[in-house]
Amino acid sequence: MSQPKFKDSPVEVDQHLLFPTNIFDLLPTDHDCFVYESLFQSIDTSEVEKKYHHLGQHAYPPKLIVSILIYAYSHGVFSSRQIERRCRQDLAFMYISKMNCPNFRVLGDFRKDNLSFFHDCFKHSVKLAMELRMASLGHISLDGSKFKASSSKHKAMSYGRLKSREAELSAEIDELIKKASLSDQQEDDTYKEANGYTIPEDLQFKQERLKKIKAAKEALEKREKALNPDEQIDDKKQISFADHDARIMSKKGYCQYSYNAQISVDGDHQIIVGQHLSKQANDIQEVEPALNALSEATGGAMVDKMSMDNGYFSGLNLHAVEQRNIDGYIATDRGEKPAEEALENSDRKFVKADFAYDAEADVFVCPANERLVTNPLSKAKRKSYRASKEVCSDCPYRSRCSGANKEPGRVIRTDRFESARQAMNKKMESTEAKSVYERRKVIAEPAFGQIKNSGFRGFSLRGKEKVAAEFSLVCTAHNIKKFVKAATTGSIRLDGVKKVKKAA
């Protein structure tokens, strides 16, 4: 008789067990769902519960729904249909949902109908991080990243095309109304009760299309007026029919309708302590809203140091940091290289940071020690400093400065914040500043990397208000994931976690 080689099944698969058992005993005792469940108990859902009434069909508890959503987002599941499927098939999801399985429409509607609550959830996670001493606000790093909007660039139209199409449709509708009126009169004379249907159906379709065109055109005009109040709208500016708030953003071959997500990350444990959503494609004016969001989430706590990459190097951002008395570290052009190094490196083009500003004389001095002066009679909003064409034409560095094929006479443009720029240039040349700034790459950038590696690359909702709430949910899931990891490794204890009330 041959000896068996393989293990036998401990039970017959289709056999009923003789004694009752807890199905969740099948989960490992150190499974993260148990830690998540203990954290979810601290979430205050009283404000959402006020929306429900005891009459009618009983609803799922709001705490149950938000627990399912946060757990799903923490594990890279973002579609409401996929979340419902996991609640039916995944034992950990079944534990979080307490064996309930909300319909995907219930999950989707809750996500859309409780926008302010998800902002409160994020604030709760920040306060919890500070209570657990996982965030001290000693060193905050601000960073931005683009996430795809729930829209396609193929379902969009330029401002010029919107204007021409509006005129075309208006003319077509007027013509159809005339034809419909004539057709009705002819058919009434012939058939009495008949009045024709083909033309009115076509008319209805074109009227609906015109309504969408007008709505998109008005939204584009409102958006551009807010972003560029003193400029005429370029006919090439585009707007999406699906999401009027999203904007075309491009970087390194990427070109999609997107939102610019901004996060302020604490240097202790990569906890996101502030976040907001922007429709701007760049970061040159994002520090002020970032600091406002950070203050709101932390209850007005003070920040010691703040580091940002070169995309934030602008007068407005420097002024915002200075106004809050924050020790700021913002990368200047080309990695804080002083003019002496620019001269030694023959491959690098001269950038604005290579030109020293003399505030007393109000002139810029180029790496070749020539002066760039401004016109004191100019009334332009931005001041321009220009070098002498005669001097530039004979300069040995011309190919690295204004370019050999361009007209000689390098021009530097600036504004009232130039002294702040020069101060930051000088500050970032110091060894201490470079040491502080080097920490930025292990603070904010990993947080975005972890969010994207979990599978989140674009939003499911449309419109800035809804998208901002979804991003709050994403950041909440990121923070809670950090708490769970710290608890499972023994770095923190969750026994004494208090229920954090809704922020005022």
Q: DSSP for 395-453, please give it.
A: -TTGGGTT-TTSPS--EEEE-TTHHHHHHHHHHTTSHHHHHHHHGGGGTHHHHHHHHHH
**Per-residue pLDDT for 253 more than 90?**
no
Number of domains in the chain: 4
Q: Which of 240, 273, 294 is the last residue of a domain?
A: 240
Looking at the fold, whether 38 and 128 belong to one and the same domain comes out as yes
Contact criterion met (CB below 8 Å) for 315 and 415: yes
Across 103-107, 209-213, 272-276, least confident range:
209-213
Looking at the fold, whether 32 and 88 belong to one and the same domain comes out as yes
Looking at the fold, whether 379 and 290 belong to one and the same domain comes out as no
Contact criterion met (CB below 8 Å) for 247 and 226: no
Q: What is the pLDDT of residue 362?
A: 84
Q: What is the CATH number of the domain that holds 266?
A: 3.30.420.10
Q: Whole domain around residue 52: which residue ranges?
A: 23-135+469-488
Residue 196 placed within a domain: yes
User: Which of these, 256, 240, 297, lies nearest to 119 by C-alpha position?
Assistant: 297
The Cβ of residue 489 has, within 10 Å, a number of other Cβ atoms equal to 8
Residue 203 placed within a domain: yes
Q: How confident is the model at residue 146 (pLDDT cuts 50, 70, 90)?
A: very high
Encode pLDDT of 222-244 as tens digits: 878 777 777 788 877 888 888 88
The DSSP H or E segment spanning 388 is none
Looking at the fold, whether 375 and 396 belong to one and the same domain comes out as yes
CA distance 258 to 278: 10
Paired tokens of 300: 């007005």
Q: How confident is the model at residue 456 (pLDDT cuts 50, 70, 90)?
A: very high
Looking at the fold, whether 78 and 215 belong to one and the same domain comes out as no
User: Quick one: CA torsion of 488, 490, 496, 497, rounded to 10 degrees?
Assistant: -50
Across 85-99, 328-342, 479-493, least confident range:
328-342
Looking at the fold, whether 83 and 44 belong to one and the same domain comes out as yes
CA distance 311 to 278: 14
Residue bearing tokens 């991003």: 471
**Per-residue pLDDT for 186 more than 50?**
yes
Q: Mean pLDDT across the stretch 360-367? A: 86
The Cβ of residue 499 has, within 10 Å, a number of other Cβ atoms equal to 9
Q: Mean pLDDT across the stretch 43-63? A: 85
Non-local CB neighbours of 445 within 8 Å, separated by 6+ positions: 143
Supply the pTM of this predicted model.
Answer: 0.82
Distances (CA, A) of 107 to 137, 202, 325, 391: 34, 38, 43, 69
Q: Mean pLDDT across the stretch 396-400? A: 81
Q: Mean pLDDT across the stretch 457-467? A: 92
Looking at the fold, whether 325 and 442 belong to one and the same domain comes out as yes
Residue 497 placed within a domain: no
Residue 4 placed within a domain: no
Looking at the fold, whether 33 and 85 belong to one and the same domain comes out as yes
Across 42-56, 130-144, 330-344, least confident range:
330-344
Residue 16 placed within a domain: no
What are the two backbone dihedrals, phi and then psi, of residue 151, each rounded to the nearest 5 degrees?
Answer: -160, 160
Of 333 and 221, which is predicted with more confidence?
221
Q: How confident is the model at residue 447 (pLDDT cuts 50, 70, 90)?
A: very high
Q: How confident is the model at residue 502 (pLDDT cuts 50, 70, 90)?
A: very low
Q: Which of 240, 272, 290 is the last residue of a domain?
A: 240
Encode pLDDT of 282-309 as tens digits: 999 999 999 999 999 999 888 999 999 9
Q: Which of 240, 268, 300 is the last residue of a domain?
A: 240
Q: What is the pLDDT of residue 341?
A: 53
Q: What is the pLDDT of residue 20?
A: 64
pLDDT averaged over the chain? Answer: 83
Residue 197, SS3? Answer: coil
Looking at the fold, whether 65 and 124 belong to one and the same domain comes out as yes
Residue 17 placed within a domain: no
Q: DSSP for 223-268, please give it.
A: HHHHH-TTSPPPTT-EEESS-TT-EEEEETTEEEEEEEEEEEEETT
Query: How do strand 356-358 and strand 254-266 relate by DSSP bridges?
Result: unpaired
Residue 114 placed within a domain: yes
The Cβ of residue 287 has, within 10 Å, a number of other Cβ atoms equal to 27
Q: Which range among 104-108, 367-371, 376-380 has the greatest average pLDDT?
A: 104-108
Q: What is the pLDDT of residue 410?
A: 85
The Cβ of residue 77 has, within 10 Å, a number of other Cβ atoms equal to 21
- Please tell me the chain's helix, strand, coil percentages from 3-state DSSP, rounded to the nearest 5: 45, 15, 40
Instruction: Tell me the Ramachandran region of residue 335: left when phi exceeds 0, alpha when psi lies from -120 to 50, beta otherwise.
Output: left
Looking at the fold, whether 200 and 212 belong to one and the same domain comes out as yes
Looking at the fold, whether 208 and 265 belong to one and the same domain comes out as no
Q: What is the pLDDT of residue 405?
A: 64
Residue 59, SS3? Answer: coil
Q: What is the pLDDT of residue 53?
A: 81
Q: How confident is the model at residue 336 (pLDDT cuts 50, 70, 90)?
A: very low
Residue 355 placed within a domain: yes
Residue 16, SS3? Answer: coil
Distances (CA, A) of 176 to 189, 287, 300: 20, 53, 61
Strand partners, 357: 364
**Per-residue pLDDT for 418 more than 70?**
yes
The DSSP call for residue 13 is T
Looking at the fold, whether 48 and 110 belong to one and the same domain comes out as yes
Residue bearing tokens 């702040």: 420
CA distance 264 to 390: 48
